[in-house]
Amino acid sequence: MQFPILSVIVFTPMIAGLLILLIPADRKTEVRVAALAAGAFALVLSLWAYFSYDIAAGGYQFVEKYAWLPPLGISYQVGLDGMNAPLVLLTGIVMFTGVMISWGIDDRPREFFAFLFILATGVFGVFVSLDLFMLFFFYEIAVFPMYLLISIWGWKVTREYAAMKLTLYLFIGSVVALIGALAMYFQAGLHSFDMLAISLAEQAGAFNTAVNIFGRSIPFQTFWFPFVFFGFAVLGGIFPFHNWSPDGHVAAPTAVSMFHAGVLMKLGAFAALRVGIMLLPEGAKVHMPWIICLTLVNVVYGAFIASVQNDFKYVIGFSSVSHMGLVAMGFATLNKQGMLGAGVQMFSHGVMTALFFAVVGMVYDQAHTREIPNLGGFRRVMPLVAIAFIVGGLVSMGMPAFSGFIAEFPIFMGLWNGHPSWLWNGYGWVAIIAAISIVITASYIIRIIGKVFFGDIPAEFEGHVHDVRVLDKVALVFLSAIMLVVGIYPTIIVPLVESGVSNILRLLGGA
Task: Name the residue type at position 90.
Answer: L
Q: Considering only residues 74-93, where is the footprint of another protein by CB under 8 A?
A: 74
Q: Considering only residues 4-33, where is the footprint of another protein by CB under 8 A?
A: 21, 25
Q: What is the nearest approach in angstroms of another protein to the Cβ of residue 156?
A: 10
Q: What is the nearest approach in angstroms of another protein to the Cβ of residue 164?
A: 6
- Distance from C-alpha of 346 to C-alpha of 323, rounded to nearest angstrom: 9
Q: Maximum Cα–Cα distance for the chain, whole Å?
A: 73
Among 81, 111, 194, 498, binds another protein (CB under 8 A): 111
292-295 CB contacts, 8 Å cutoff, 24+ apart: 292/329, 292/332, 292/333, 292/418, 292/427, 292/430, 293/430, 294/238, 294/239, 294/240, 294/328, 295/238, 295/239, 295/325, 295/326, 295/328, 295/329, 295/332
72 or 436: whose CB is closer to another protein? 72
Q: What is the nearest approach in angstroms of another protein to the Cβ of residue 169?
A: 10
Q: What is the nearest approach in angstroms of another protein to the Cβ of residue 190?
A: 14
| DSSP string over 380-410 | HH-HHHHHHHHHHHHHHHT-TTSHHHHHHHH
Q: What is the pattern of x (binds another protein, CB under 8 A) and - over residues 350-389?
A: ----------------------------------------
CB 73 within 8 A of CB 191: yes
- Residue 219, by phi and psi: left (phi above 0), alpha (psi -120 to 50) or beta? beta
Position 152 contacts another protein (CB under 8 A): yes
Q: What is the nearest approach in angstroms of another protein to the Cβ of residue 267?
A: 15
Q: What is the nearest approach in angstroms of another protein to the Cβ of residue 282?
A: 21
Position 129 contacts another protein (CB under 8 A): no
- Residue 238, by phi and psi: left (phi above 0), alpha (psi -120 to 50) or beta? beta
Q: What is the nearest approach in angstroms of another protein to the Cβ of residue 379?
A: 36
74 or 391: whose CB is closer to another protein? 74
Q: What is the nearest approach in angstroms of another protein to the Cβ of residue 292?
A: 28
159 or 266: whose CB is closer to another protein? 159
Position 157 contacts another protein (CB under 8 A): no
Q: What is the nearest approach in angstroms of another protein to the Cβ of residue 175?
A: 5
Q: What is the nearest approach in angstroms of another protein to the Cβ of residue 139?
A: 9
Position 477 contacts another protein (CB under 8 A): no
Q: What is the nearest approach in angstroms of another protein to the Cβ of residue 226?
A: 14
Residue 99 — φ and ψ, nearest 5°?
Answer: -65, -40
Question: Pairing mode, if any, of strands 61-69 and 216-219?
Answer: unpaired
- Distance from C-alpha of 43 to C-alpha of 29, rounded to nearest angstrom: 21
- Distance from C-alpha of 135 to C-alpha of 195, rounded to nearest angstrom: 10
Q: Three-state DSSP class for 362? A: helix
Position 171 contacts another protein (CB under 8 A): yes
Among 30, 140, 365, 467, binds another protein (CB under 8 A): 140
- Distance from C-alpha of 146 to C-alpha of 437, rounded to nearest angstrom: 30
Only segment of 39-47, 130-138, 396-404, 489-497 that touches another protein (CB under 8 A) = 130-138
What is the size of the binding site for another protein (CB under 8 A)?
Answer: 38
- Distance from C-alpha of 355 to C-alpha of 390, rounded to nearest angstrom: 10
67 or 432: whose CB is closer to another protein? 67
Among 53, 113, 136, 314, binds another protein (CB under 8 A): 136
Among 19, 179, 204, 488, binds another protein (CB under 8 A): 179
250 or 493: whose CB is closer to another protein? 250
CB 469 within 8 A of CB 308: no
- Distance from C-alpha of 100 to C-alpha of 471, rounded to nearest angstrom: 6
Q: Considering only residues 405-464, where is the footprint of another protein by CB under 8 A?
A: none
Task: Name the residue type at position 100.
Answer: M
- Distance from C-alpha of 402 to C-alpha of 487, rounded to nearest angstrom: 4
Among 1, 2, 56, 71, binds another protein (CB under 8 A): 71
Q: What is the nearest approach in angstroms of another protein to the Cβ of residue 144?
A: 5
Among 33, 37, 44, 175, binds another protein (CB under 8 A): 175
Question: Pairing mode, if any, of strands 74-80 and 61-69?
Answer: antiparallel
Position 44 contacts another protein (CB under 8 A): no
**220-233 and 281-307 helices cross at what angle (nearest 10)?**
30
Task: Name the residue type at position 248.
Answer: G
21 or 399: whose CB is closer to another protein? 21
Asked whether the bond before 240 is cis by omega within 30 degrees of 0, the reply is: yes
Position 182 contacts another protein (CB under 8 A): yes
Q: What is the nearest approach in angstroms of another protein to the Cβ of residue 189?
A: 11
Position 72 contacts another protein (CB under 8 A): yes
Distances (CA, A) of 453 to 70, 113, 204: 58, 31, 58
CB 294 within 8 A of CB 428: no
- Distance from C-alpha of 357 to C-alpha of 361, rounded to nearest angstrom: 6
Among 15, 19, 33, 172, binds another protein (CB under 8 A): 172
Position 505 contacts another protein (CB under 8 A): no
Given the rule CB under 8 A, which residues bind another protein?
21, 25, 67-72, 74, 108, 110-111, 133, 136-138, 140-141, 144, 147-148, 151-152, 159-160, 164, 167-168, 171-172, 175-176, 178-179, 182-183, 185-186
